[in-house]
């Protein structure tokens, strides 16, 4: 499986879930590489913004920002090697993230199989951008989908970011919760429109401010919480940013 490479090793880390329904829960994160979308504010751009690709990123304006080389930012690990890494950590809540983890769902399925066989108390969550259908076998093993539909503010073309059959699948799946990244007040109408069109129940929706610093998150907090109250949606912070800052592996 292709995982994000960090300090010459696979980006597998034990921390607390910083976002959404299980905020605060001790969890092991496995960060897969590769993504099928290219959000201009993505904070894991080292999983997709490869040298030679035409994708734009907010950080293009920063002096010294460079696209990534696959050999420096991808590490290939077998399912057995990943299971071996996980066995060293005393935690059974696994969060599959990326990039877009469902691009490698057959390998992740194998990993979940293997882990459950050896430890039936393992629990699996996957983060996903909601554009790829999980297989029936994957759906049988996963416990929770954290679906994060991408909006206009991500700068992905509509045809790539909104896959109606996939949104319908997740809307009808009781294991799915939805997490919308909110950049500005312009995003609200678009979110409410998606919730209405796909009949997503409000108690399964989390609105999360976009930002990779406490200052940026707090600037949106009061306003966004008011919108959550108005529309009976949940607010979620990005707890790990407040605790650790914008760092990898936390």
Give the other-Cβ count within 10 Å of 215's Cβ. Answer: 7
Q: Give the three-class secondary structure for 84.
A: helix
Closer CB to ligand SF4, 36 or 214, in the complex:
36
Owner of token pair 């691009």: 103
Q: Give the three-class secondary structure for 34.
A: coil
CB 131 → ligand SF4: shortest distance, Å? 8
15 binds, among ligand 2KA, ligand SF4, none (CB under 5 to 8 A by kind): ligand 2KA
How many binding residues for ligand SF4 (CB under 6 A)? 13
99 binds, among ligand 2KA, ligand SF4, none (CB under 5 to 8 A by kind): ligand SF4
**Token pair recorded at residue 106:** 């057959």
Convert residues 140-169 into a mask of x (bound to ligand SF4 by CB under 6 A) and - (unbound): ----------x-------------------
Closest to 125 measured CA to CA, from 150, 98, 151: 98
Closer CB to ligand SF4, 132 or 192, in the complex:
132
Per CB under 6 A, residues contacting ligand SF4 are 35, 37-39, 42, 44, 47-48, 98-100, 129, 150
Q: Which residues are annotated as part of the binding site for Mg(2+)?
A: 44
Q: Which residues are annotated as part of the binding site for substrate?
A: 16-18, 31, 97
């Amino acid at each position: 499986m292709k995982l994000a490479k960090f300090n010459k090793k696979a980006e597998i880390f034990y921390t607390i879930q910083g976002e959404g329904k299980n905020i605060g829960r001790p969890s092991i994160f496995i960060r897969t590489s590769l993504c099928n979308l290219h959000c201009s504010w993505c904070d894991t751009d080292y999983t997709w913004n490869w040298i030679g690709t035409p994708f734009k990123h907010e950080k293009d304006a920063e002096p010294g920002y460079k696209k990534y080389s696959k050999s420096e930012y991808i590490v290939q690990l077998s399912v057995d090697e990943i299971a071996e890494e996980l066995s060293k950590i005393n935690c059974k809540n696994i969060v599959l993230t990326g990039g877009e983890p469902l691009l490698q769902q057959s390998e992740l399925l194998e990993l979940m199989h293997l882990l459950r066989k050896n430890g039936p108390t393992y629990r699996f969550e996957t983060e996903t951008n909601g554009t790829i259908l999980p297989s029936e076998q994957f759906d049988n093993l996963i416990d929770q989908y954290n679906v994060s539909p991408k909006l206009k503010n991500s700068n992905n073309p509509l045809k790539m970011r909104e896959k109606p059959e996939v949104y319908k699948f997740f809307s009808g799946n009781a294991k799915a919760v939805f997490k919308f990244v909110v950049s500005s007040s312009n995003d609200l109408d678009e979110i409410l429109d998606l919730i209405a069109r796909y009949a997503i129940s409000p108690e399964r929706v989390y609105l999360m401010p976009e930002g990779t610093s406490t200052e940026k998150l707090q600037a949106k907090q009061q306003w966004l919480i008011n919108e959550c109250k108005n529309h009976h949606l949940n607010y979620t912070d990005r707890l790990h940013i407040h605790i650790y800052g914008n760092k990898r592996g936390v």
